[in-house]
Chain A
Amino acid sequence: MRDKLFDPITLAATTNYIDQKLSEGGGGAGSAGKDGVSCTHSWDGTVLTVTSASGTTSADLQGPAGPAGKDGQNGAAGSAGKDGSDGFSPVITENTGNSTVSYKLDIQTKTGTMTTPNLQAISFVENAQVYSQEETVIGTWIDGKPLYRKTISFNMPSQAGSAYQICDLTYLNIENVSFLNGICNFSSNSFTIMSSYAAPTTYAYIYVSDNFLQVNFAGTSFLSRPCTATLEYTKTTDAATVAVASADELNAAYNEGVQSA
């Protein structure tokens, strides 16, 4: 480079000058150098970072994941669990309100006592379609009393008239007749006795009065015909178990509701 900056003459002169000066020993000491800078580094488990005076350099030193290791050995058995709570044996007793038409069971459990539905109702279902000359309990009336059914077989009187007493029902202790139906059979016909034939000269109806099953008929069609009468009734000898709401009470409640609005 010096060849390009200085021509040979100048170069020679300069060289001589320098050589002369060096031989004379007249040069001074140079100035102090700058302080050095220490390198620092950091390692995050994957990347090594080095910082020096000339800058920061990073390198990812983590290699690819190796294959999975083998399973470890089973651990030791855990400690025994706590004891469970004590068991409870239900106690079953008959409900104190059981009656002819009601059979319930009280079941005392750990959390309290529950009462079964009326198990007697099963027999009501069974008897619902039973028509017998024997008195049969078929269910309950609105007051909770047993409801009985009985079918009576009889022949119409041989002479038309009114208020023929068919049979005495006193022994049944009837309190309330909830259903009464009479059927008269003749030839191939079966007529409901109640209000059979609307004509004023031929009719028949059946009813209970003064503890007698009675029939009233006119005309000759029913004379001596075989009939059946089916009654459903409650008895004076049974106790009511259910309070009955009368129409007056319900009307009063309605009016109270209106007034409260």
Chain B
Amino acid sequence: MSLDTTIKDKLITQSFEQGKADAISLRNRAPELDGTEIIAEERKIPLFDGTKNYIAWAAGSPVRELVDGEYQVFKLLQPHNAANYPGSTPSNAPALWSICHTKEPANAKPYRAANGTSGMYMIGECCTEGGKVYRSKVDNGVYAPSEYAQNWELLEE
């Protein structure tokens, strides 16, 4: 006798709808949130899709991208159709996307070099490098902790 999937199907549908609703809610709020607040709700951020049309998305809407084995979060700068930019991703298209940093050490992401003025580290923003967590002591930081330690405070050994 086959198993009754009524309850399972219902739960899976509920989870799907919850994920969709959470993502839309965050996207609607994101333009008013800073990187710390957005990354705190990272689970609600969809992965970047190179075939997706982002024209209808508001500036500030977040996506995630797997960069060097770790997920980074980016905010949309200019609504566009990603299909028209083959090969571009948030991490290599600073005119379209800007990386988010967090001031919450527990959510810190691996250090990423700034792209021009996009992605510079501000005071209090954290990163990880070599398994350690650092907090920026300066605004507009463009050097990694290993490159310019004076700009960073080591938070964990």
Contact residues of A between 210 and 261, Cβ < 8 Å to B: 239-245, 249-251, 253-261
- A258 to B46 alpha-carbon distance, docked (Å): 5
The answer to the question of B47 belonging to the interface, with a C-beta cut-off of 8 Å to chain A, is yes
The answer to the question of B23 belonging to the interface, with a C-beta cut-off of 8 Å to chain A, is yes
- A244 to B10 alpha-carbon distance, docked (Å): 11
User: Cβ of A258 and Cβ of B20 under 8 Å apart?
Assistant: yes
Per-residue CB proximity of B39-56 to A under 8 Å, as 1/0? 000011111010000000
Interface size on B, residues (CB 8 A): 27
Question: Which among A240, A255, A257, A258 is the interface contact of B3 at CB below 8 angstroms?
Answer: A240
Q: Is the interface of B mostly helix, strand, loop or mixed?
A: helix
Among listed B11-19, B73-81, B146-154, interface-contacting one: B11-19
User: Cβ of A258 and Cβ of B44 under 8 Å apart?
Assistant: yes
The answer to the question of B104 belonging to the interface, with a C-beta cut-off of 8 Å to chain A, is no
* Residues on A with beta carbons closer than 8 Å to the beta carbon of B18: 254, 257
The answer to the question of B24 belonging to the interface, with a C-beta cut-off of 8 Å to chain A, is yes
* Residues on A with beta carbons closer than 8 Å to the beta carbon of B44: 258
User: Cβ of B19 and Cβ of A245 under 8 Å apart?
Assistant: no
Say which size band chain A's interface belongs to.
20 to 34
The answer to the question of A97 belonging to the interface, with a C-beta cut-off of 8 Å to chain B, is yes
User: Cβ of B7 and Cβ of A243 under 8 Å apart?
Assistant: yes
Question: Which among B3, B12, B19, B24 is the interface contact of A249 at CB below 8 angstroms?
Answer: B12
Which B residues form the contact surface with A (CB < 8 A)? 1, 3-8, 11-13, 15-24, 27, 43-47, 49
Which A residues form the contact surface with B (CB < 8 A)? 97, 144, 239-245, 249-251, 253-261
7 residue pairs, one from A and one from B, having the closest CB atoms = A257-B19, A261-B23, A254-B19, A257-B20, A253-B15, A257-B16, A243-B8
Query: What are 12 A-B pairs at a CB distance below 8 A?
Result: A243-B7, A250-B11, A257-B20, A257-B21, A258-B19, A258-B20, A258-B22, A258-B23, A258-B44, A259-B47, A260-B19, A261-B27
